[in-house]
């Protein structure tokens, strides 16, 4: 039984192996047939795809070549047409001329066949006259043109002849110079040869002399070193003395600086406005008077004086009594003296502005207007004011404000007919030329710029005795101020 079972098991395994081999062969053949079918389909798809892509590429290449050929044909046909166009144009023009000549012949024949009338005779006479005039005119124009062309050709010929002759002369001069220099060199050659020999001898001698000079220099250096070492104590004492003298000079400079600063601090304390709470205008004006009385002439501290004048401007713009008191006192003389003798530094220009404002406030008030104007004329301040205007003309910043303030002062003064009548008496420096110069300078400056309308406002000629007034105090544009003053002086209309 065991053997039978083993035999059946072996047969089963053999059959199983045979079945597996058969199945493997069958599946392999089936998969091979499927693979062949799929490969043939893929090859067909690839062939169709590549054919389509090649067709598109060939189509694009064909279209490009076709467009290039069309462009070449168009260019060739256009060039051929342009080349042939003069002949075609001549033919067309000749054909047109033949047609016109034929039509003119027919017209002439028809006109000859028509009976002659007065209008026809008159027309023919006018026509012959017009033809004669046109012939003469065209002959004159052609003669002028030919004359101009002849003159141009003549000038060209003259220029060419002149240049040719100049070049020929220069060539001859160069040849002459070359021969003359050769002759001179040949004559000078013996002397030059002796000079060269002498230079060679000098070079040989100079070598020996240089060696002797080096030896002498060494000897001199040794002797000078010995003498310096011998004089060293005296030199050391001299250096110590110079060092002490410089130290003494430095100490003296420091001491003098300290004394000057101390003196300046004392003078600042005399100029400084006292600080009090709730100062009235009267007290402020009295403090200004006291400070100006303490000052000496030609000794100004411009920053402190600017503060003093600003306080005085506040007093004269808000109080009639203080305007009268200022106009009658010595403050105006002090202001005139300051304006005449101050320099052109920036602090001085900033201190002039409130001083001019004080004079404008006094000139606006009718009680002090004539007083301040008379004192201005007597002190010959108009000349100084115009000089300040000329120096500040065309500048920016504080100088421009000062120019507008002085122009305001002169303009307000000229508003009064009585003051305007005596302008020839007090304008001794002939200011018309100065004002014309300033007008031209400002016109050149504002040639590319325009003045804003808000700056073209006339200042007030009457005082405003309260704080916060919106009236225009002075001019804000230097060109507009100059125009108004020139109009008042009848320089421009």
Residue-wise pLDDT tens digits, 73-104: 999 999 999 999 999 999 999 999 999 999 98
Q: What is the pLDDT of residue 265?
A: 53
Cα 108 to Cα 336: distance, rounded to the nearest angstrom: 103
pLDDT value at 395 more than 50:
yes
Dmax over CA atoms of the chain, in Å, equals: 170
pLDDT value at 427 more than 60:
no
What pLDDT, in 10s, does the model give residues 139-171?
999 999 999 999 999 999 999 999 999 988 888
Which of residues 58, 82, 114 is at a domain's end? 114
Which of residues 60, 83, 114 is at a domain's end? 114
In a domain, residue 103? The reply is: yes
pLDDT value at 270 more than 50:
no
Residue 85 structural domain: 7-114
Provide the domain count of the chain: 2
In a domain, residue 285? The reply is: no
Query: 132 is written with which tokens?
Result: 């004669």
pLDDT value at 271 more than 50:
no
In a domain, residue 66? The reply is: yes
In a domain, residue 239? The reply is: no
Q: What is the pLDDT of residue 51?
A: 93
Q: For 258-265, what is the mean pLDDT?
A: 68
CA 435, 438, 440, 445: dihedral to nearest 10 degrees?
Answer: -160
The percentage of the chain sitting over the pLDDT mark of 90, rounded to a whole number, equals: 24
Q: Residue 269 — pLDDT band, cuts 50, 70, 90?
A: very low
Q: Which burial class, exposed, middle or buried, applies to 339 when counting CB atoms under 10 A from its CB (0-12, 13-18, 19+)? A: buried
Could you tell me the CATH number of the domain that includes residue 443? 1.25.10
pLDDT value at 401 more than 90:
no
Give Cα separations from 335 to 54, 140, 380 (angstroms): 105, 83, 13
Which of residues 92, 114, 136 is at a domain's end? 114
Query: 110 is written with which tokens?
Result: 């028809």
pTM value surpassing 0.75:
no
Mean pLDDT of the chain: 82
For 244, how many CA atoms within 13 A lie in the half-sphere containing its CB?
6
Task: Write 38-46 long-range contacts (CB < 8 A, 24+).
Answer: none
Cα 316 from chain centroid (whole Å): 46
Q: What is the pLDDT of residue 239?
A: 84
In a domain, residue 163? The reply is: no
What pLDDT, in 10s, does the model give residues 285-343?
788 877 777 765 445 577 778 888 888 888 888 888 888 888 877 888 888 888 888 77
430 versus 316: the higher-pLDDT residue is 316
Least confident of 39-53, 124-138, 148-162, 276-290: 276-290
In a domain, residue 204? The reply is: no
In a domain, residue 284? The reply is: no
In a domain, residue 21? The reply is: yes
């Amino acid at each position: 039984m065991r053997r039978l079972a083993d035999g059946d098991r072996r047969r089963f395994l053999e059959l199983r192996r045979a079945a597996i081999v058969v199945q493997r062969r069958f599946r392999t053949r089936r998969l091979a047939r499927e693979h062949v079918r799929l490969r043939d389909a893929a090859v067909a798809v690839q062939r169709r795809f590549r054919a389509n892509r090649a067709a598109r590429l060939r189509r694009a290449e064909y279209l490009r070549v076709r467009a290039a050929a069309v462009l070449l044909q168009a260019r060739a046909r256009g060039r051929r047409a342009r080349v042939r166009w003069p002949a075609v144009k001549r033919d067309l023009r000749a054909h047109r001329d033949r047609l016109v000549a034929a039509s003119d012949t027919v017209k002439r024949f028809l006109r000859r066949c028509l009976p002659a009338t007065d209008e026809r005779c008159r027309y023919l006479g006018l026509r012959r006259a017009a033809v004669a005039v046109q012939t003469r005119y065209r002959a004159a124009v052609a003669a002028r043109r030919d004359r101009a062309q002849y003159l141009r050709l003549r000038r060209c010929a003259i220029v060419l002849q002149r240049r040719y002759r100049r070049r020929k002369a220069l060539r001859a001069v160069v040849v002459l110079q070359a021969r003359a220099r050769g002759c001179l060199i040949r004559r000078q050659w013996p002397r030059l040869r002796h000079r060269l020999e002498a230079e060679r001898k000098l070079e040989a001698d100079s070598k020996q002399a240089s060696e002797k000079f080096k030896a002498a220099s060494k000897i001199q250096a040794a002797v000078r070193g010995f003498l310096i070492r011998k004089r060293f104590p005296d030199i050391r004492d001299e250096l110590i003395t110079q060092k002490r003298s410089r130290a003494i000079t430095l100490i003296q400079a420091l001491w003098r600086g300290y004394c000057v600063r101390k003196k300046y601090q004392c003078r600042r304390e005399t100029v400084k406005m006292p600080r009090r709470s709730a100062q009235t205008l009267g007290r402020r004006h009295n403090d200004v008077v006291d400070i100006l009385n303490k000052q000496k002439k030609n000794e100004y501290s411009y920053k402190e004086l600017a503060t003093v004048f600003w306080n005085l401007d506040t007093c004269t713009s808000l109080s009639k009594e203080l305007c009268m008191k200022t106009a009658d006192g010595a403050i105006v003389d002090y202001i005139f003296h300051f304006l005449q003798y101050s320099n052109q530094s920036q602090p001085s220009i900033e201190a002039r502005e409130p001083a001019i404002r004080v004079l404008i406030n006094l000139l606006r008030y009718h009680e002090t207007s004539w007083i301040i104007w008379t004192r201005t004329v007597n002190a010959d301040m108009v000349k100084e004011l115009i000089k300040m205007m000329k120096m500040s003309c065309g500048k920016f910043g504080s100088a421009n404000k000062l120019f507008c303030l002085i122009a305001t002062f002169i303009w307000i003064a000229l508003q009064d007919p009585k003051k305007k009548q005596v302008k020839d008496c007090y304008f001794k420096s002939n200011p018309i030329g100065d004002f014309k110069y300033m007008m031209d300078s400002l016109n050149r400056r504002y040639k590319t710029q325009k003045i804003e309308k808000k700056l073209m406002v006339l200042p007030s000629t009457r005082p405003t005795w309260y704080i916060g007034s919106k009236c225009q105090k002075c001019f804000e544009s230097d060109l507009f101020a100059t125009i108004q003053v020139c109009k008042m002086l009848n320089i421009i209309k």
